[in-house]
């Protein structure tokens, strides 16, 4: 999503402290620039032992600052000038030593000096820890992380996995694309702060026998985009996903299911505890009464085996009838007469907002166009990438919500 220019107009100070994860900072700088940001790199002396200022300058097209007495600044106050220009300061990697400096207000080199001197009320500080697993787990480091959070610093990660020392565990710096998306999310308006959002996404698969089943072309991309957009907007998001091959959006709780009945059984215990339910999943209307235990074979007659079908539960309609129902948003994937079918579906399921789209035109695609239908009429969200539409839909839902009473 980097080519969406989600950071257009943002000026980011990217700080590098010492650590092998500096190699990821090169890709991070590239991703931030591709996302539309201008990037000013500031490095500690230790960081220059892992990656050169020349590399970072080439990737950002801006001179790199490595010490506080830089003669390029007429007033010799690079720590003041650079921090006043920034929309945010992101330190990646942030070593254990550098985080300790931040906690105690030490400022013995340009990067820690810049972080201390920044106008904290308008220039947020984000750090991406990177260190050995034992260093991360050490009580001193954990105390420092807690202190940073208490001071309003956003701590991004770390991740778990293989480490340069050969050990495995927590302490890896997040990947460049993950940090890019964390920064993008940080700047999104928190329209759903404090809200709990439950989303279904993807197709369902109704087994006929051990190797065959009934499903559809839904890729789940729209539902996953909405989950990401809702989380970016500050919501606590639970995503019930049918069989899709998509990565889970950051900080989203995911429950994987296969069939419509499994999706129903996953949603129903959760629905009343959520403020919003968004049913984007393309749930199969019918399923075989019973799946065959063995593969159904051709018998030479030229006729398919008779398969008795039964209707699946209507998850959206059932949730909409709950005594303590969330604000319900339905989706209608149609092949024709979109407005008429969307209006009929909204009235039949008694939901306040129905979102229509033409399924064959959008299944598996990265773009979509949506039609919003409510009791007052309808309006279109024109063709755009699915994350853009998801953010627009989340903003629309936020305007319709009353303050939570629970």
Q: Which residues are catalytic?
A: 165
Both tokens of 127, joined, read 């750090």
CB 207, CB 182: distance < 8 Å: no
d(C-alpha 336, C-alpha 340), whole Å: 9
d(C-alpha 273, C-alpha 137), whole Å: 34
Conformation bin of residue 302: beta by default, left when phi > 0, alpha when psi is -120 to 50 = left
d(C-alpha 381, C-alpha 331), whole Å: 14
77 CB-near residues (< 8 Å, 6+ apart): none
CB 329, CB 276: distance < 8 Å: yes
Angle, vertex CA 98, rays to CA 66 and CA 100, nearest 5: 150
Both tokens of 151, joined, read 């001071």
d(C-alpha 197, C-alpha 146), whole Å: 27
CB 196, CB 235: distance < 8 Å: yes
Both tokens of 377, joined, read 């009429």
d(C-alpha 325, C-alpha 138), whole Å: 45
Structural element, H or E, at residue 367: strand 367-374
Both tokens of 45, joined, read 């002396």
378 CB-near residues (< 8 Å, 6+ apart): 339, 342, 343, 371, 372
CA dihedral sign, ordered 341, 347, 349, 353 = positive
d(C-alpha 91, C-alpha 279), whole Å: 38
d(C-alpha 71, C-alpha 304), whole Å: 83
């Amino acid at each position: 999503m980097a080519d969406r220019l989600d950071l257009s107009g943002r000026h980011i100070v990217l700080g590098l402290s010492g650590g092998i994860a500096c190699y990821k900072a090169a890709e991070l700088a590239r991703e931030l620039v591709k996302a539309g940001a201008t990037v000013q790199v500031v490095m500690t002396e230790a960081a220059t032992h892992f990656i050169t200022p020349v590399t970072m300058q080439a990737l950002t097209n801006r001179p790199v600052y490595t010490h506080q007495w830089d003669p390029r600044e007429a007033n010799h106050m690079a720590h003041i000038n650079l921090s006043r220009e920034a929309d945010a300061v992101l330190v990646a990697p942030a070593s254990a030593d550098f985080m300790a400096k931040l906690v105690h207000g030490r400022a013995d080199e340009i990067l820690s000096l810049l972080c201390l001197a920044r106008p904290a009320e308008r220039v947020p500080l984000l750090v991406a820890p990177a260190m050995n697993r034992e260093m991360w787990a050490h009580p001193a480091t954990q105390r420092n992380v807690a202190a940073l959070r208490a001071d309003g610093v956003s701590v991004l990660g770390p991740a778990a996995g293989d480490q340069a020392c050969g050990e495995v565990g927590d302490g890896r710096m997040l990947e460049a694309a993950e940090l890019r998306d964390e920064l993008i999310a940080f700047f999104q308006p928190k329209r759903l702060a404090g809200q709990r959002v439950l989303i279904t996404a993807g197709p369902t698969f109704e087994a006929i026998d051990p190797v065959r089943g009934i499903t559809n072309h839904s890729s789940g991309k729209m539902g996953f985009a909405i989950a990401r957009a809702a989380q970016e907007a500050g919501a606590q998001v639970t995503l019930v996903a049918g069989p899709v091959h998509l990565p889970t959006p950051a900080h989203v709780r995911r429950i994987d299911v296969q069939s419509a009945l499994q999706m129903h059984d996953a949603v129903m215990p959760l629905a009343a505890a959520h403020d919003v339910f968004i049913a984007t999943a393309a749930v199969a209307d019918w399923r075989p009464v019973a799946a065959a235990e063995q593969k159904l074979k051709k018998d030479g007659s030229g006729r398919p085996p008779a398969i008795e079908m039964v209707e699946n539960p209507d998850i959206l309609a059932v949730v909409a009838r709950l005594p303590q129902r969330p604000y319900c948003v339905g989706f209608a994937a149609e092949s024709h007469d979109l407005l008429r079918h969307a209006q009929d579906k909204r009235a039949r399921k008694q939901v306040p907002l129905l979102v229509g789209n033409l399924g064959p035109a959008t299944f598996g695609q990265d773009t979509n166009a949506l039609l919003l239908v409510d009791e007052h009429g309808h309006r279109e969200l024109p063709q755009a990438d699915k994350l853009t539409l998801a953010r627009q839909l989340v903003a629309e839902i936020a305007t319709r919500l009353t303050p939570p009473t629970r």
